[in-house]
Structure formats: structure tokens, C-alpha cells
Amino acid sequence: MKIHEQCIVAPPPLAPKTSLTLTFFDLFWLRFHPLELLFFYSLASQQSNPSFFFANVFPKLKTSLSHTLQHFLPLAGNIVWPSDSPKPFVQFTPGDAVSVVVTESDAEFNQEIDYSPRETAGSHPFIPHLHSSESLASVMSIQITLFPNKGFSIGMSTHHAVLDGKSAAMFIKAWASLCQNPIQR
């Protein structure tokens, strides 16, 4: 696995500070392992050529992610638990962002997208680490992995206290829509 870039992607700069209280049902998921999602996308050979991908596809993914985050601000924030607070909450502060790692893999793309049963450990290299400590936890991190001349994957680690399956699907659909139909400025 070759790392090409580690960056952060933030919502557009006018995003306001936002806080969300975690409910009783959210708190149940606070100490659970992150929700890990992995999506694969086939591309035409020319689009998944590394030089084309990093010059054209990845910038589009990054820009559309930023615009999507403005509608999902808590995902760019953190779960915080200040010492003066009785329970943790989700907080987005302008400047918060999602960690994005861009890698390239020599793994066989067609094997990765095969539906046959296999160990999940083989997919772990395509899933990013989600930062957490005793008083702060990132809500989401993303890893984009290029499989040269075949396609790419988007791996997401998310904090389950903030993002459930339905919310994750809504986020991915919004991101895909904005990536496919970019905002004209």
C-alpha cells in the first residue's frame, strides 16, 4: 500500500459552530468499535490511470466531499467530553475537518469486489483509522484507495454514536450526487 496524500477536508468556511447533544440511545454506542464502511467503484482504464486519477478524479472527490460536509456538519466535528459536562456531545467548530488518506494498492481489484465469502481482515488495509482519546473522538475519517487501471475504493470509519447505517447511506448518496453533478460557481 502506497500513501500518496494525507489531508483534511473541511466544509466551506462559512459553516457555523454547531453542537448536538447525544441521546440516551446514542450513548449506548459511545465505546463501541467504529462503524467501518467500504465502497468500490469501477472506472474506465483511462480514468483509473494514476496520473489521470490524481489530477482529475481525486480533486473532484475532495471538492464534492467539502460541499457535502456543509449539509452534514457533525461529521466533520468531534465527540467531546469536557470535564465540566455531565455527558459527551458532538461539536463542530469552524476549522474542524475530516481526515482523508489517499493510497494506491497493488491488490487485485476484481478479487476485492468478488461476492464470495472471505475473511474481513483482507479489507482492513482499505479502512482508515479513527482518532480517539479519553476526551475527544473524531466522528469520521476517510481513505480513498486507487487500484490502477481498474477503479478505487472509499473506506470510512465513523463513530457509531453519531452515524448509523441510514445516515451513512444518506451521506454517501449526497456525496455521490455532488460528485456527479458539481456545484457551478
- CATH topology classification for 2-180: Chloramphenicol Acetyltransferase (3.30.559)
Per-residue confidence (pLDDT) for residue 34, from 0 to 100: 86
Q: Which residues in the chain come in under a pLDDT of 50?
A: 184-185
Tell me the CA distances in angstroms from 140 to 69, 163, 181, one per residue in order.
Answer: 11, 9, 24
Q: Report d(CA 50, CA 103) in Å as an integer.
A: 11
Q: Report d(CA 43, CA 61) in Å as an integer.
A: 14
The whole-model pTM stands at 0.90
Instruction: Return the residue matching grid coordinates 456531545.
Output: 89
Which pLDDT tens digit goes with each residue over 10-63? Answer: 998 888 898 988 877 787 777 778 889 999 999 887 887 899 999 999 999 999
